[in-house]
Amino acid sequence: MNDIENIQLSAVKLEDNTYRITTKAKVDDLAASIQQIGLIHPPLIKQTASAGYVIVSGFRRIAACMYLGWKEIPTRVLDADIDDARCVSYAIADNALQRPLNLIEISRSIALLSTVITDDDALAETASKLGLPADPGLNRKIKKICDLATPIQDGILANTISLAMALELAKFDANIGVAFAKIFAQLKIGLNKQRELIVLLDEIAHRENTTIENLLNEKDIRQILDDDNLDRAQQRQRIREYLTQRRFPTISRTQHEFKKQIKNLELDHRMALVPPKDFEGSSYTLRLSFSGVSELEELQGKLDRIIQSKGLAKFLSK
Amino acid sequence: MAITKLYIDQRVQDFPETLSIQSRLNLPATVVTNCQDVFDYVLSSKDPILKAKQTLLLTCNNGAFIKNCPGTRCYTCCDYKILHIGTFCHLDCTYCILQSYFHPPVLQYFVNHQHLLAQMKNLFAQQQITRIGTGEFTDSMIWELWTDLSSLLVPAFADQQYATLELKTKTTAIEGLKSLRHNHKTIAAWSLNTHRVITREEHSSASLTARLNAAAKCASWGYPLAFHFDPMVIYEGCEKEYKQVVQQLFSTVDPGRIVWISLGTLRFMPALKKIIQKRFPESNIIYGEFITGLDGKMRYFKPSRIELYRSMVSRIRELAPHVCIYLCMEDNDVWKESLGFIPDDYGGLPRMLDERAIQHCQLDPKGLIGK
């Protein structure tokens, strides 16, 4: 590698993000540090065949120096004819070997590596040496992440979207993936609930011959999501109830009718009437809690009222 | 769907049936000493299930040719027996349970017919009323294109008085049955569905009209008939369309020829859902209101099933009051609500069906003794 060389910052092609690994855009903290103790570790740049330089590593350092108003910056300059694979390795190593990378940065690293190594196993071997995952299968998955829309990547960085969910969102059109990412961020729901939401919407879309996008734009759903009077937990509950009722209308109606019957029975707090799961079996369960014969006798009267209930008899005979 | 690849198990390569099938298929064959080679070939495909439908393996059945139908105690079972002549099917029904039943699924045909005939002989020797069919692990009639199966089975059943063979199909491959001596011991049976379900979900199968015309032909050749409305699919307007199928059935076929009609709504192992989503993304069949049944299979919500059954039973009884209707894998509640009785009122479902078989297939009632 060449010696340190001062170059004009105006000659650096800041818009070229070919080798960018970092996801961190803010530089004020780094600028403050540089201002106080100077630039300890010069960025690595590469001379281009035309004129000027592209950044290989040190994107934030260069941005911070610009922020501080520097005109020149000390750098290590790579020749224009350097092997691209070397540049890729420098870019990844300079990040991955100095600090833990987040998932997007790992994805960018693997995507970058895959531009110079096409074989999955060879890529995994090199990745491992650079501090990246060594599993070819995992790398194939992770590689896709950095191509996802920004709100999904933001969700990953904010820990509201896991790798598994990001890969599921990648299967949808970009705008649907983004819509889900925004809902997940808003409702702060875990992976299982995220999956449930996606499955419900997907299956409703199939049943009703519409699209998830149309559903997400519907008034009823927007009203729940946009209602400022509801807190996050209430929104989560309402949206789940709404979608479940819409996905399973007959089942929901039956459950509602059963609840109504139970309410009409005005059951004592020591009694519970439980239907068979999904109303599939034949046996209903009646639970009585009592501590003595006199209490049981007291409940007997209430039990008689249940037996005589015409509404319940009608419901059970359906 | 055409067979494009033929494998022959080395053990059966000189069997007459093997040579005959190979000649009719007119395909070069790959002889294998280990059937795992065939499974590997199928599994190496992007769509192993599709590949399995195009790949035929001629081999031996090393186990039982006669098996009990895999019912469950949670629902009323008809005590049917399976004549295990082969596996899988080249029709491509979206909902086909065989897609997730075999691992991997492979279109296999068993050519060790000496063993098959020996086991059938043992069955007949028991002198007990038996209802047995080839249409559980495969479609009964797809094999007619390349094999002499019906000409082997139908006369064999014709020569005894205790067992009836049911050939259940969604095809019209019946010409081979025409000249066979059946002695009423073989029931020609069709799976029926609405035009919508047939066109959207039962790919490569015959149309409803073609199935019913084939049934009428079989009736004209003296065969008893059976029909299975299974799987019935619940969708908006389905009741009206299923009733139209009933109407068309009795416009084409004399109810007096019908041994039984079964009704069963769609049910499937949970694992099948992903397979259908992947293989048939355009199909909406899995997005009904399903719950997990007592046997772990997905099935429609009970009140919805009852509603459809009631409607069908009512229409069938209007047009054919004496036809035996039974429900496939339902509990007493559903029977009572849909048909107005439970099987135990008539000695149980197996008994009900045995008596129909005795009546229509001219079986010896002595075969009920000891059952």
B contacts of A251 (beta carbons < 8 Å): 289, 291, 301
Task: Kindly give, in sequence order, each residue whose CB lies less than 8 Å from that of residue B42, ignoring residues fewer than 6 positions away.
Answer: B48, B51, B52, B55, B104, B105, B106
Q: Do A282 and B331 touch (CB under 8 A)?
A: yes
Compute the distance between CA of residue A317 and CA of residue A50 in angstroms, rounded to an integer. 85
pLDDT band at A2 (very low <50, low <70, confident <90, very high): low
DSSP state of B76: B
Average pLDDT, chain A: 93
Alpha helices by DSSP H, B268-301: 270-279
Nearest CB to B293: which of A254, A280, A282? A280
Which residues are bridge partners to B93 per DSSP? B202
The tokens describing A312, both together, are 């319940």
Answer yes or no: is pLDDT of A318 > 90. no
How many CA atoms are closer than 13 Å to the CA of A84, on its beta-carbon side? Answer: 10
Tens of pLDDT, residues B207-216: 999 999 999 9
Compute the distance between CA of residue A160 and CA of residue A165 in angstroms, rounded to an integer. 10
CATH topology of domain B65-85+114-368: pyruvate-formate lyase- activating enzyme (3.80.30)
Residue B219 pLDDT: 98
Compute the distance between CA of residue B329 and CA of residue B296 in angstroms, rounded to an integer. 13
Distance from CA of B196 to the nearest CA of A (A): 15
Residue with tokens 């009694």: A271
Give the number of other Cβ atoms within 10 Å of residue B269's Cβ.
Answer: 15
A contacts of B284 (beta carbons < 8 Å): 206-207, 209
Compute the distance between CA of residue B168 and CA of residue B224 in angstroms, rounded to an integer. 12
Weakly modelled stretches of chain B, pLDDT under 50: none
Residue A1 pLDDT: 60
Distance from CA of B270 to the nearest CA of A (A): 15
Which residues are bridge partners to B78 per DSSP? none
Residue B1 pLDDT: 76
Query: Which of B146, B160, B300, B322 minimizes the C-alpha distance to B230?
Result: B300
B contacts of A281 (beta carbons < 8 Å): 294
B contacts of A278 (beta carbons < 8 Å): 291-292, 301-302
How many CA atoms are closer than 13 Å to the CA of A142, on its beta-carbon side? Answer: 26
Compute the distance between CA of residue B162 and CA of residue B358 in angstroms, rounded to an integer. 8
Give how far the C-alpha of residue A317 lies from the chain's centroid of Cα atoms, to the nearest Å: 47
Q: Which residue of A has its CA nearest to B338?
A: A318
Answer yes or no: is pLDDT of A100 > 70. yes
Q: Do B291 and A318 touch (CB under 8 A)?
A: no
Q: Do B303 and A279 touch (CB under 8 A)?
A: yes
Query: Which of B235, B244, B230, B257 minimizes the C-alpha distance to B360?
Result: B257
Interface mutation vs chain A, best among B236, B287, B309, most A CBs within 10 Å: B287
Nearest CB to A280: which of B284, B289, B302? B302
Answer yes or no: is pLDDT of A52 > 80. yes
Residue B341 pLDDT: 97
Which residues are bridge partners to B365 per DSSP? none
Interchain contact A280–B (C-beta under 8 A): yes
Q: Do A250 and B291 touch (CB under 8 A)?
A: no
Q: Which phi and psi (to 5°) does residue B31 adopt?
A: -90, 130
User: For the whole model, what pTM was predicted?
Assistant: 0.87
Nearest CB to B291: which of A209, A280, A282? A280
Q: Do B333 and A203 touch (CB under 8 A)?
A: no
Nearest CB to B303: which of A206, A248, A318? A318
Work out the average pLDDT over A284-310. Answer: 91
Tens of pLDDT, residues A10-37: 999 999 999 999 999 899 999 999 999 9
Residue B268 pLDDT: 95
Say if residue A300 is exposed, middle or buried (CB neighbours under 10 Å; 0-12, 13-18, 19+): exposed
Answer yes or no: is pLDDT of A249 > 80. yes
Is there a contact between A57 and A20 (Cβ–Cβ < 8 Å)? no
Tens of pLDDT, residues B121-177: 999 999 999 999 999 999 999 999 999 999 999 999 999 999 999 999 999 999 999
Compute the distance between CA of residue B310 and CA of residue B338 in angstroms, rounded to an integer. 5
Tens of pLDDT, residues B29-64: 999 999 999 999 999 999 999 999 999 999 999 999
Residue B74 pLDDT: 87
Taking only residues 193 to 252 of chain A, the set having a beta carbon closer than 8 angstroms to any beta carbon of chain B reads: 203, 206-207, 209, 248-251
Interchain contact A258–B (C-beta under 8 A): no
Q: Which residue of A has its CA nearest to B299?
A: A280
Residue A49 pLDDT: 84
A contacts of B289 (beta carbons < 8 Å): 248-251
Q: Do B289 and A254 touch (CB under 8 A)?
A: no
Q: Do B284 and A206 touch (CB under 8 A)?
A: yes
Q: Which phi and psi (to 5°) does residue B230 adopt?
A: -160, 120
Please report, for chain B, the start and end positions of each structural domain, with discontinuous segments joined by +: 65-85+114-368
Torsion-angle region of A131 (φ positive above 0: left; ψ -120 to 50: alpha; else: beta): left
Distance from CA of B8 to the nearest CA of A (A): 36
Compute the distance between CA of residue B312 and CA of residue B334 in angstroms, rounded to an integer. 13
Compute the distance between CA of residue B159 and CA of residue A26 in angstroms, rounded to an integer. 89
Residue A203 pLDDT: 97
Total residues found in chain A within this entry: 318
Residue A73 pLDDT: 95
B contacts of A277 (beta carbons < 8 Å): 291-292
Q: Do A250 and B292 touch (CB under 8 A)?
A: no
Looking at per-residue pLDDT, the higher value among A186 and B371 belongs to A186
Please report the beta strands in chain B, taking only residues with DSSP state E, as ranges in sequence order.
5-9, 29-32, 55-59, 66-68, 81-83, 86-87, 92-93, 107-110, 130-133, 163-169, 186-191, 202-203, 225-232, 258-265, 267-268, 290-292, 298-300, 325-327
DSSP state of B370: T
Which residues are bridge partners to B83 per DSSP? B66
Domains of chain A: 4-145 (3.90.1530.10), 150-247 (no CATH), 263-317 (no CATH)
Compute the distance between CA of residue B194 and CA of residue B208 in angstroms, rounded to an integer. 7
Query: What is the full DSSP assignment across A164-185?
Result: HHHHHHTTS-HHHHHHHHHHHH
Nearest CB to B287: which of A206, A277, A318? A206
Compute the distance between CA of residue A155 and CA of residue A166 in angstroms, rounded to an integer. 9
A contacts of B333 (beta carbons < 8 Å): 282
Q: Which residue of B has its CA nearest to A280?
A: B302
Q: Which residue of B has its CA nearest to A210?
A: B284
Compute the distance between CA of residue A170 and CA of residue B156 in angstroms, rounded to an integer. 58
Compute the distance between CA of residue B100 and CA of residue B230 in angstroms, rounded to an integer. 18
Average pLDDT, chain B: 95
Residue B104 pLDDT: 77
Distances (CA, A) of B187 to A198, B80, B227, B327: 47, 14, 10, 18
Torsion-angle region of B324 (φ positive above 0: left; ψ -120 to 50: alpha; else: beta): beta
A contacts of B292 (beta carbons < 8 Å): 277-278, 280
Is there a contact between B253 and B216 (Cβ–Cβ < 8 Å)? yes
Distance from CA of A168 to the nearest CA of B (A): 14
Q: Do A281 and B284 touch (CB under 8 A)?
A: no
